[in-house]
Structure 1
Amino acid sequence: MKLQSALIPVLQNIAAFSFLATATPINHIDPPCDNPVWNVGQSVRTTSGLVVGHSAENTSEVSEYVGIPYAAPPLGRLRFQPPVRFTGNDTINATAFGPTCIQPPSTPPSNNTSSVPPRNLGIPPTFAAAFASEVYPASEDCLTLNVWTKPQTGETKKAVLVWVYGGGYVSGSSRQAAYRGQFIADESDVVVVSMNYRVNTFGFPGNPATPANVGLRDIRMSLEWIRDNIEQFGGDPERITIFGQSAGAGMVDFYSFAYADDPIASGFIEMSATIYGFPALTAEETNNRWFHVTDLVGCGNATSDPVAVSDCMVNKTVDEILAGYDPANVPFNPSPYGPVIDDELVFSSYLNRTAAKGGYLIGNTHNEAGIFKLGQVHNESYWTDFNDRLYTCADVVRIEQSIADGNPTWRYRYFGDFPNLVLTTTPPSGAYHTADLYPLFNTVNQTLLASTPAEIAVGNYLRDVWSSFAKNPQHGLDAFWPQYNGTGKTLARTGFNNETISLAPGNMYDHICRWSYDAESIEFGY
């Protein structure tokens, strides 16, 4: 079953994390017609134009509309600028994905540059070879979104799940095979949407002459488009949940604070990242990086006129800018890109800030580090700290804050460790960072090894949970497990011992965590 290149994002995530060791709403268009009959792939009138879809691959009853522009192409003077709403009346052939946003080439880490000999990573040769096969065209003209829907069955106005991809704020794409939404739409009676947003220098440039956080602003504009158009696809604009993984989860979290007064979404799912595990960068950090790159490409440095530098960068080619990105020339840790403190959308402290009202589902995998160990040489205590500091402890801080804000909040921990998703056996990769995505989207590659019955059951359960949450972020998960508290059995362990769910005390894995409120940082109790 499923798409052949579903596991490609695994090593793309490794490359992306190699640095680790508002607009006024417009009126809704009237519903498509009074005729209750929906034809798969039928034309749909949107603010972008008349979009024509088709039936999705392997799910003939799901209508797929891909490559729909939601913002004007950020070309020329719009490079590094906030997105500009796209409107049009032309017919759009929404049967082919749009280009991926510009990003540096990513390759799996095959060499260890330290003096310590590289380990035998134990990646199956056929698995490793597959990573080179999923290559997508890229362009600055990339601000498009995709819709999967099945209006002919189920609810007449369906809840909407909006996917935000990860990639360390350096890479990622909504068209990756692992992130196709047709299986969730087919099985779970929801509309699934995904969007492209700008990353790296193009999305988080650190340019002092232009507004910051344009990648985050891209996500906001895509949600405005969804709010204004999703009813045309059978979706409910009052029931929108955004969910993301890794940097995508970070974007969901930053978004929940940036647009707290008008979030559009009423549900927030954060998979393997929060603002406390991966905090915002400072303006100084990002400005230094920006001028480092501008100097390399011949546009001036920090002593130059910022506007003149920006104008020069606008006229550089993509290849010239990417050459300046070379990680060897950008020695900033832990990551050179990401949301930056601007005191407009992203803030220096979140302790006294309140996020958007709504339901929250927050969790991580049991061994996030399992993927980051590839090509790295660190002892096990380093990776234990890595898991605890960036994920487990950061999660509990964010969860406690969400509860204090009066939001219904659930917590999970993913343990799935299935044969066809194993990265390494020595050391065992376990439930690594991204391992939960493939069962969730039902895009596990079946070519090398078929899914086990337990893996299929866990995937079905995850889709049931995510869609039930989207349908009712306030109470949709009450039938699955209790809202979080530290001592009660409120932690859902999914895939634990090959079971769909096993409940454990909410703080079972938090014994090493200690939060320093003065320093707003995570410390450890051992």
Structure 2
Amino acid sequence: MLFNAIHLSAILDVRQFLGISYARPPVGQLRFAPPEDVVRIQVTINATSLPNSCMQQFSSGSTIYTAYETEFLISGGQSEDCLYLSIWTPSIAAIDRKGSPLPVFLYIPGGGLTSGGQNSMYKIPDKWVKRTQSHIVVVMNYRVDVFGFPNAAALSHQNPGLLDQRKAGWTYSNIAHFGGDPDRITLWGQSAGGASVANYPYAFADDPIVKGLIADSGATGIIAKSDPTHSNFTALAGLVGCSNMSAVNELHCVRRVNASTLENALSNYVINKQTPTISFTPTDDNITVFTNYTDRLTHGHLARLPLITGSNTNEGAGFVPYTPSGPGNATLVNTTLSIIACPVARDVARRDLAPELYPTYRYLYTGNFTNTSPVSWFGAYHSSELPLLFGTHDKYGPGNSTSFEYSVSQTMEALWLSFAECPGAGPKRFNMAFAEGGKALQLANAWPRLDQYCGL
């Protein structure tokens, strides 16, 4: 192994290796730079607690997540030294009984690419791993907001946060030590993590490392923006005393600013609705993010990996300000379609140009369970499928999980795991609906009204 020993945390039948560094701390001159390999020496790692999340933007707005669904938010602290991952794996006895290495999920958390991290209670996979004893889950941190997507004029790589996700491919080289199969890694993410997964096979077409992709409520169309003049970084630099400098000096100056000072300046600027607006998400550099995904597909610059992708029926509830009565159905529908459902549909349509090369499995999640959706207008909101996939739906919230909720949860988990066990074994294309009409799973036709609305 690359380290001498690990002190680990464990629950019954699950070993938890929490907070393992997969890259050097991105501080000092490594701030805004691509991640570098961690230098391993023979030391004991205390892998018993989840790491700090990466530095991220904060907000004063009220959403369903701040008002009710706080288990989706990150817990614990923040740090610029945050490039860590955590591993949940069955007991050694269970792995020995299997007699072969286990399939692996490598999970990218969401958060709009401005926030998020692995320390989020609804997304801890210990119960799922305990129940199946047949797979491993790895969850990563990656840099977000200005630290992950600075787009500064003096930088040669503008999206180091996406390179962090790739660097978490550390998993490929090391997961065998934990009982995992490096040749059966499925890259999975939700929301911004799902968008990152959808983007990944375009960015790393020639050497994807992973064998399958799962993008929950995320698509290439929601990941990128253009800022060719690097105005966002220059504006933020001005807020922290780095005005009227050359591009090189501006970068050097901002690298010397305390990380909390930098994030506070940006967050308060946004909260106070100052203009011009400043934001930091991936920029279309045509290295890691692209201006024309269809062109890349038609020219073969897309890894030939199967993909599960889909969305929820009421995604919009997660993107509007919280009020007790909600914003009204029209707003929810339009927000659902424009932000998530249509970008997902367009990704599917693009892959359908060559379905024999790019197997695609599309889902629609419709679950509306009172313990995870306690207010009537929440429905199948953005992220609401995650407690069922991670097996945490019965840990939080008012009321108990129903037998149907358990059935939907275990059906989704089983399908995800079946895919991870052999991503290329399924048909070239199918659609499925979860929790619709009192059925845990049913195969579905395409959703023509949705696709028509999206211009497809």
Match of 2:406 in 1: 456
Q: Is the 8 A contact 2:372 2:397 kept in 1?
A: no
Instruction: Tell me, yes or no, if structure 1 residue 290 matches structure 2 residue 290.
Output: no
Q: Which amino acid aligns with 2:226?
A: T
| Counterparts of 2:438 and 2:275, CA distance in 1 | 42
| Counterparts of 1:472 and 1:350, CA distance in 2 | 27
| Counterparts of 2:401 and 2:256, CA distance in 1 | 50
1:438 to 387, 390, 393: 387
Instruction: Tell me, yes or no, if structure 1 residue 306 matches structure 2 residue 250.
Output: no
Q: Is the 8 A contact 1:66 1:95 kept in 2?
A: yes
Give the C-alpha shift of residue 256 in structure 1.
Answer: 1.6
Give the C-alpha shift of residue 483 in structure 1.
Answer: 4.5
Q: Is the 8 A contact 1:184 1:192 kept in 2?
A: no
| Counterparts of 1:124 and 1:201, CA distance in 2 | 23
Give the C-alpha shift of residue 446 in structure 1.
Answer: 4.1
Q: Is the 8 A contact 2:8 2:47 kept in 1?
A: yes
Give the C-alpha shift of residue 329 in structure 1.
Answer: 5.5
Match of 2:321 in 1: 374
The CA RMSD measured in Å over matched residues stands at 2.5
Number of aligned residues: 437
Match of 2:434 in 1: 494
Structure 2 gap ranges (5+): none
Match of 1:391 in 2: 340
Q: Is the 8 A contact 2:74 2:118 kept in 1?
A: no
| Counterparts of 1:255 and 1:340, CA distance in 2 | 14
Q: Find the residue that maps to 2:14 and give its secondary structure.
A: strand
Q: Which amino acid aligns with 1:342?
A: D
Match of 1:98 in 2: 51
Q: Is the 8 A contact 1:62 1:186 kept in 2?
A: yes
| Counterparts of 1:132 and 1:216, CA distance in 2 | 22
Go from structure 1 to structure 2 and tell me whether the alpha carbon gap of 1:158 and 1:331 turns closer, same or farther (over 3 Å shift): farther
Go from structure 1 to structure 2 and tell me whether the alpha carbon gap of 1:330 and 1:411 turns closer, same or farther (over 3 Å shift): farther
Match of 1:473 in 2: 423
Give the C-alpha shift of residue 166 in structure 1.
Answer: 0.4
Q: Find the residue that maps to 2:293 and give its secondary structure.
A: coil
2:296 to 338, 353, 356: 353
Give the C-alpha shift of residue 344 in structure 1.
Answer: 1.7
Match of 1:172 in 2: 116
Q: Is the 8 A contact 1:371 1:423 kept in 2?
A: no
Q: Is the 8 A contact 1:68 1:145 kept in 2?
A: yes
Any residues of structure 2 matched to 1:21-100 within 5 Å, and which?
45=1, 47=2, 50-56=5-11, 60-88=12-40, 89-100=42-53
Instruction: Tell me, yes or no, if structure 1 residue 323 matches structure 2 residue 294.
Output: no
Q: Is the 8 A contact 2:310 2:362 kept in 1?
A: yes
Q: Is the 8 A contact 1:269 1:362 kept in 2?
A: yes
Go from structure 1 to structure 2 and tell me whether the alpha carbon gap of 1:236 and 1:141 turns closer, same or farther (over 3 Å shift): same
Any residues of structure 2 matched to 1:203-282 within 5 Å, and which?
203-210=148-155, 211-223=157-169, 225-276=170-221, 278-282=222-226
Give the C-alpha shift of residue 509 in structure 1.
Answer: 4.1
Question: Which stretch has the larger CA shift, 64-73 or 443-452?
Answer: 443-452
Give the C-alpha shift of residue 498 in structure 1.
Answer: 3.3
Q: Find the residue that maps to 1:294 and give its secondary structure.
A: helix
Question: Which stretch has the larger CA shift, 66-75 or 393-402?
Answer: 393-402
Match of 1:414 in 2: 365
Q: Which amino acid aligns with 2:29?
A: R
Q: Is the 8 A contact 2:232 2:279 kept in 1?
A: yes
Q: Find the residue that maps to 2:424 and give its secondary structure.
A: coil
Q: Deviations over 1:69-119 (max 9, x none)?
A: 010111111111111110312110111111111113345517xxxxxxxxx
| Counterparts of 2:72 and 2:418, CA distance in 1 | 36
Q: Which amino acid aligns with 1:228?
A: S
Considering fraction of residues, name the structure with more helix.
2
Give the C-alpha shift of residue 332 in structure 1.
Answer: 6.9
Q: Which amino acid aligns with 2:320?
A: K
Instruction: Tell me, yes or no, if structure 1 residue 197 matches structure 2 residue 142.
Output: yes
Match of 1:23 in 2: none
Q: Find the residue that maps to 1:74 and give its secondary structure.
A: coil
Q: Deviations over 1:19-53 (max 9, x none)?
A: xxxxxxxxxxxxxxxxxxxxxxxxxx3x3553232
Give the C-alpha shift of residue 207 in structure 1.
Answer: 1.3
Q: Which amino acid aligns with 1:364?
A: S
| Counterparts of 2:444 and 2:78, CA distance in 1 | 44
Identity among equivalent pairs (%): 29
Give the C-alpha shift of residue 447 in structure 1.
Answer: 5.6
| Counterparts of 1:203 and 1:49, CA distance in 2 | 31
Give the C-alpha shift of residue 449 in structure 1.
Answer: 1.1
| Counterparts of 2:87 and 2:243, CA distance in 1 | 42
Q: Which amino acid aligns with 2:148?
A: G
Give the C-alpha shift of residue 279 in structure 1.
Answer: 4.2
Instruction: Tell me, yes or no, if structure 1 residue 156 matches structure 2 residue 100.
Output: yes
Q: Which amino acid aligns with 1:53?
A: L
| Counterparts of 2:401 and 2:371, CA distance in 1 | 7
| Counterparts of 2:305 and 2:214, CA distance in 1 | 11
Q: Is the 8 A contact 2:173 2:182 kept in 1?
A: yes
2:87 to 147, 164, 179: 147
